[in-house]
């Protein structure tokens, strides 16, 4: 029997239970920084030291955090269904929980990339990218993060997976960050769609979307029982 395909779009809300702060606070700042200072090519050109220090701290914090129950449930579901996780998160908590197929739309904290060729990426040993660490082309290494104004190279691959989903789950994201939020438009009309979040997203929920108003771990416990009950 052919295994069902579960495609997950995850956001900051799933990592929040592990102690990782959400991308934007209510005041529009990220860890007390204007977002464009630390998440744009212009910010990098203006102050490389600030940007490196910012992501070094985020990387150290992420390494000290552990996957929570929501991450573990998604990993556990691989025993019964084909799971593809498309995440807006830059931490590696999905992988550390055991998920084997994770697409990072916005890059990965655990990697560095060339400042002049984004296709040249390197694993980071420890938690720091240091000044004077260069890629093979001789440019300073920078965080492997998709900043505002930069293309999202994994988007086409993500659209392909959304288009073959039997179940499509949105967890921990408000469907406000594009182009990621647009993935739901590529999901087949006969697929079952679930949204798990503490707050109903500011998004028109069609009749075929099932909204679970719970935090990620509690919502995924319910979702797991629904999916396994149908297999």
Instruction: Kindly list the catalytic residues.
Output: 106
Alpha-helix runs per DSSP H in the chain: 12-16, 35-38, 41-46, 48-64, 69-76, 93-97, 155-162, 216-230
In Å, the largest CA–CA distance within the chain is 56
Helix (H) or strand (E) holding 33: strand 33-34
Looking at the DSSP assignment, which residues form a beta bridge with residue 108? 144
| Residue entry with tokens 């052919």 | 2
For every residue of 67-96, DSSP letters joined together read --HHHHHHHHGGGTSEEEEEES--S-HHHH
* CA–CA separation, 204 and 162 (whole Å): 19
Interhelix angle 216-230/69-76, nearest 10 degrees: 20
Cα separation, 9 vs 133, whole angstroms: 33
Cβ count within 10 A of residue 130: 11
Quote the DSSP letter at residue 165. -
């Amino acid at each position: 029997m052919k295994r069902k395909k579960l495609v997950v779009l995850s956001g900051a809300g799933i990592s929040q239970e592990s102690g990782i702060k959400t991308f934007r606070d209510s005041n529009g700042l990220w860890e007390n920084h204007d977002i464009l200072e630390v998440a744009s090519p212009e910010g990098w050109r203006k102050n490389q030291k600030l940007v490196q220090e910012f992501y070094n701290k985020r990387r150290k914090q992420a390494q000290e955090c552990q996957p929570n129950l929501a991450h573990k449930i998604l990993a556990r579901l691989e025993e019964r269904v084909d799971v593809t996780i498309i995440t807006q998160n830059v931490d590696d908590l999905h992988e550390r929980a055991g998920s084997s197929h994770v697409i990072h739309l916005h890059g990965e904290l655990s990697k560095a990339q060339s400042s002049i060729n984004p296709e040249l990426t390197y694993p980071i040993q420890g938690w720091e990218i240091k000044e004077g660490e260069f890629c093979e082309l001789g440019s300073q290494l920078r965080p492997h993060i998709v900043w505002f104004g930069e293309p999202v190279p994994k988007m086409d691959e993500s659209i392909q997976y959304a288009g073959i989903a039997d179940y499509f789950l949105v967890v921990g994201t408000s469907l406000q960050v594009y182009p990621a939020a647009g993935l739901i438009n590529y999901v087949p009309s006969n697929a079952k769609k679930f949204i798990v979040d503490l707050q109903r997203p500011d998004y028109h929920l069609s009749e075929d979307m099932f909204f679970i108003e719970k935090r990620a771990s509690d919502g995924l416990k319910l979702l797991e029982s629904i999916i396994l009950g149908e297999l």
